[in-house]
Amino acid sequence: MLTDDQVLALAPDSSSAKAGQELASPHKWQELGANEKLAWGLCQGSGKNPYQCCVDLGQTAFKCSCPSRKFPCKHSLALLLLLSRQSAALNSKEVPAWASTWMASRKERADKKALKTESEQRSGDETEQLNPGRESSGAADQGKAKKAKTASARREKVEAGLEELELWLKDRIRQGLAGLESSSYQSWENAAARLTDAQAPGLARMLRQCAGIPNTGDGWQERLLSKLGLLQLILEAYKRIETLPEALKADLRQIVGFNLNQEELLQSASPVKDTWQVVAQRVSLEERLKVQRSWLRSASQNKWALILNFAHGMQPLDISLSPGTSLEAELVYYPGTSALRALVKSKSQVTQPLSKFNAFASIEEFLDDYANALALNPFIETYPVLLEGVCCRRGKNNFVIADKNNSYLPLAKSRLSGWQLMAVSAGCQIEFCAEWNGEHLLPLSALVNGKFYRLDQKGEADVA
Amino acid sequence: MWLKKDLLATALLGTGQQELPPVYKSASESLESAMSQIQEQVADAGKETSLLKAVALLHLFEKSGRKAQVLDEDFPFQKETAQNLPEESDDESVQNQMRQLSHEAKTQLRHLLETNSQLLPEWLSLAHKKGKTIPAELLVSAFELAARNNGIRKAIASCAGERGQWLALLNEDWHFLLIGPRQAEANAEELKKLWDFGSRQERLAALKAAREQEPSLALEMIKSSWKSDPPEERLAYLSILNSALSQADESFLESAGLDDKRKEIRRQSQDLLANIAGSRFCLRNKERLANAVKLKARETNSGFLEKLASFGKKKASKYELEVNLPADCDKQMIRDGFSAKSPDARMGDKAWLLCQILGLCRPSELLAYFQLSEEELLQVFLESEWRNALIAGLEHACLKFEASKQAELILLLYFGLLDFSAEGLHLKAAYELFDCLDKKEQESFLTKYLERNNYLLSKQGQEYVDSRALELLRRMRGDWSKEFSQVVLRAIRTHMVQKNNSIFSDYYLSPLALKMNLEVWAAVEASWKSSAVYDKSLDKMIATLNQRKEIKEALDCQHQ
């Protein structure tokens, strides 16, 4: 069963969360019921008939007859909150027809999808069995040829897009970066849009990030130039991608924006089974896309895993990984040098609260690890860091994290993140998790006397 | 380092205007050799590409070779540690368990802070009463809210706990949270120091503390900088002087206050002087009253026709008033705040003068002067040809001296709960008079009114909600008694059942939910749930009541 916090994390915005909480009272509902798979209820709105709302508890899917465009709507959130707070109030056991119809249609869709995947696999296997050691024939042949043609067309498109980007970068440097602070965002946006058209969305995202740098305060010029340098490095590397080692090639393709089929990856790659600590989670907004970055750390090895989740517009983000907990899971890594990005193949339902990070004992150790990672993959933008026995210290204009050897690294110049750390740590030694961009630490979470705190960018820490 | 600067300078000006650095020279041999390769390719790749490649290389070189800096004695970063903070320690003692919040209470506080909810003050006040403090993870967002919202500062400061005070001490932007407790503990010398050198808020807090500890010290502090301080500050000092007001303050107010250039300051000084019993200001006005208004026995005609005409009517008072007003305001009257010209078109200048004279007399002194009871005095006033000016003057006096008994009498008159007619009276400050009553008086007045006036329906045509009653409910102080909350709920329900269609609005109903006694929740849950009438505002009101109930339960709950 989901906790209150997990339910509220599903809310598309704060007003939905607020409205959901207000509705989470049994007297607002005409009928409430639940079983192991489903929760349902009838909620009186401003219309004549009550809204029919139900939630698939197994896959956390929602259905409501209200006209709201938000997803999940306040009724669905309220129903889940009621289930978490007052499950006894959901006392009806007889599933109404409208709810069972919805569940049946969901099951039908899932079965169809499974059947399709299975038949695709079977046809592949059969072709292989019929023509062992020989080139595939007929439909399979055609399929492969089509796939190869599509891939080649995309490669050409990407190459053309990258050529155009190089030209655009040259123009930008020829004209000079001074004055960008007051110039229009549009030329960056146009160039980024062209990269999206050229099917290089990763580079388009980087270019959009560049566009925002002139408004980030002192030192923007240097920050922008280094980012443009990185773009040039990627362009140079892509020109000779065929000569690069396979792992680096895979890194580069990911950066440019070639997606891997997750189903195929889950099937083909060998999983890493371990106890994984969910040490941090950060959500950022890119255009209308919510990007959730969950950092997992192996409890026994020096291994990291980054699980990315995306939700568009009002869609909810995945809440299956709860920061501040550890769980048994099988992860599958994306191919690449630094073994960071991964997918969850399977995981236990039982989680344990985190009381200790598998952290580096000193900043020096972490910097060595970072240098090694950079040597393998020079395109890394942010890298995770876990440190133990560090404390937060305050300077005139900024905060630093200092270890037992008195070595220190600066925190990013956010107005409040340092104060959050001071508030939860009271200046004492803590275990600390952050993202390192080569210059600053972006605080993500902390363990203080065994108590886990999430540190977000709004000036608020969250205890799990 | 200079290579980086040179590259940056070229990038800023543009390669169209600025040449690349002649040599990519670096302190590191390996970097320099890589750089020279880039430089050799300038002709093929172009200046711009060469520059960006050099930047990328340099940046990677710096990032991968970065060493952590080391703190030393001269280093500016301070080590600030708050030791043994009780609210976050692992202490299992009962006292510590009591201080910590339950998970639900923390979740509620987070939500209230995020939305700057109107329930936040109640949460903070309940938490303060129970000795609970804001948890460490929410201190920053609470302090940031307090920085934006002056009204919530005191409540947040009261729940900040030792950790919060320690944190606020570190950040100058949050020092306002320490104002009050710090000054309350200061001695006279420290207060004087704060008065001389503190910020505006610190000075005012010091003055307040001094007024509480030693009223004469506060007066001395005000006198010391009165002439040099700006008028807004002087006005703030006078409002602090209002507490512990005594005859010792009179000469300062007479000389500095009444002769100040600013009208607001003169007005405030006049109000303060009027509140000092036996002051020269009060004596002057007493004399004016004695000269202007006299009570005398009414001449009655006892003929048959007169008796017939008054049959069935309320018996007239035995007394009547003789009014004899000065022709104009003299200099002393103007100094005491009188104005010759009436600001109200419905009241003449003479009537205005009478209204001002009465308005400066404490209602209890008026009763003593006329030697009449409240009801008798009201009747005499109402029967006079100066009735409008006399009642308006009494109204002003009630407001100025917060005379709740007389204020209630005028309200009863205004709301038609007395046998006297209020017809033709220009009562303006009915709601302000209601504010003069204390909570119990307000409850008793409104209970009478609601029960007499068919609950919340207006008398005219029974079609509309009685907005006067709703406005009074809206203005009432919080923390209603259970009985009164039941009266209000009954009134709303009666209205809904009779009309089957509510026209309440959030403006009126949502403040009610913040004030009702939570003991009525059980009744609301039992009877309102089955209500067939859907009303959005009412629904919100019930939701707010429910939230308040949950807040109380969560704060009652022990930390687990």
Q: Is the pLDDT of residue B448 over 90?
A: no
Bigger pLDDT: B403 vs A221: A221
- Which one of B4, B5, B6, B12 would you mutate to disrupt binding with A, by most A Cβ within 10 Å of its Cβ? B12
Q: Is the pLDDT of residue A464 over 50?
A: no
User: Is B534 in the A-facing interface, judged by CB distances under 8 Å?
Assistant: yes
How confident is the model at residue A355, as a pLDDT? 87
Cross-strand bridge partners of residue A31: A42
Do A357 and A447 meet the contact criterion of CB atoms below 8 Å apart? Answer: yes
Do A180 and A211 meet the contact criterion of CB atoms below 8 Å apart? Answer: no
Q: Can you tell me the distance from the alpha carbon of B60 to that of B65, in angstroms, rounded to the nearest whole number?
A: 8
Which residues in chain A touch residue B4, judged by CB atoms under 8 angstroms apart? Answer: 222
Cross-strand bridge partners of residue A402: A391, A408
Which residues in chain B touch residue A28, judged by CB atoms under 8 angstroms apart? Answer: 539, 543
How confident is the model at residue A237, as a pLDDT? 94
pLDDT band with cut points at 50, 70 and 90 for residue B367:
confident
Do residue A395 and residue B66 have CB atoms under 8 angstroms apart? Answer: no
User: Is B81 in the A-facing interface, judged by CB distances under 8 Å?
Assistant: yes
Bigger pLDDT: B349 vs B496: B349
Nearest one of B467, B472, B533 to B505, comparing CA atoms: B467
Point out the residue among A178, A222, A374 whose CB comes nearest to the CB of B63. A374
Do B529 and B104 meet the contact criterion of CB atoms below 8 Å apart? Answer: no
pLDDT band with cut points at 50, 70 and 90 for residue B331:
confident
- Which one of B37, B63, B524 would you mutate to disrupt binding with A, by most A Cβ within 10 Å of its Cβ? B63
Q: Is the pLDDT of residue B500 over 90?
A: no
Peptide bond into A72 cis (omega under 30): yes
Do B81 and A427 meet the contact criterion of CB atoms below 8 Å apart? Answer: yes
Rounded alpha-carbon distances, angstroms, from residue B5 to A245, B1, B2, B12, B24: 34, 6, 5, 10, 11
How confident is the model at residue A124, as a pLDDT? 56
How confident is the model at residue B386, as a pLDDT? 87
Q: Can you tell me the distance from the alpha carbon of B540 to that of B524, in angstroms, rounded to the nearest whole number?
A: 13
Q: Can you tell me the distance from the alpha carbon of A58 to that of A110, in angstroms, rounded to the nearest whole number?
A: 13
Please state the rounded mean pLDDT for residues A30-37: 88
In three-state secondary structure terms, A464 is coil
Rank B453-457, B462-466, B507-511, B534-538 by mean pLDDT and report only the highest. B507-511
User: Is B67 in the A-facing interface, judged by CB distances under 8 Å?
Assistant: yes
Q: Can you tell me the distance from the alpha carbon of B557 to that of B560, in angstroms, rounded to the nearest whole number?
A: 9
Mean per-residue pLDDT of chain A: 86
Cβ-proximal residues to B376 (8 Å cutoff; 6+ apart), any chain: B317, B319
CA distance from start to end of chain B: 56
Query: In chain A, what percentage of residues exceed pLDDT 90?
Result: 46
Token digits of residue B67: 């060493």
pLDDT band with cut points at 50, 70 and 90 for residue B529:
low
Q: Can you tell me the distance from the alpha carbon of A413 to that of A437, in angstroms, rounded to the nearest whole number?
A: 13
ipTM: 0.79
Please state the rounded mean pLDDT for residues B446-467: 67
Do B153 and B160 meet the contact criterion of CB atoms below 8 Å apart? Answer: no
Q: Is the pLDDT of residue A459 over 50?
A: no
The predicted-structure confidence for B163-215, as pLDDT tens digits, reads as follows: 898 898 888 888 888 876 666 677 788 888 888 888 887 888 888 888 888 88
Q: Can you tell me the distance from the alpha carbon of B367 to that of A72, in angstroms, rounded to the nearest whole number?
A: 67
Which strands make up the sheet holding A451-455, listed edge to edge? A461-463, A451-455, A441-448, A430-436, A383-394, A399-402, A407-410, B69-70
Nearest one of A6, A126, A87, A41 to A464, comparing CA atoms: A6
Cross-strand bridge partners of residue A327: A276, A351
Q: Is the pLDDT of residue A235 over 70?
A: yes
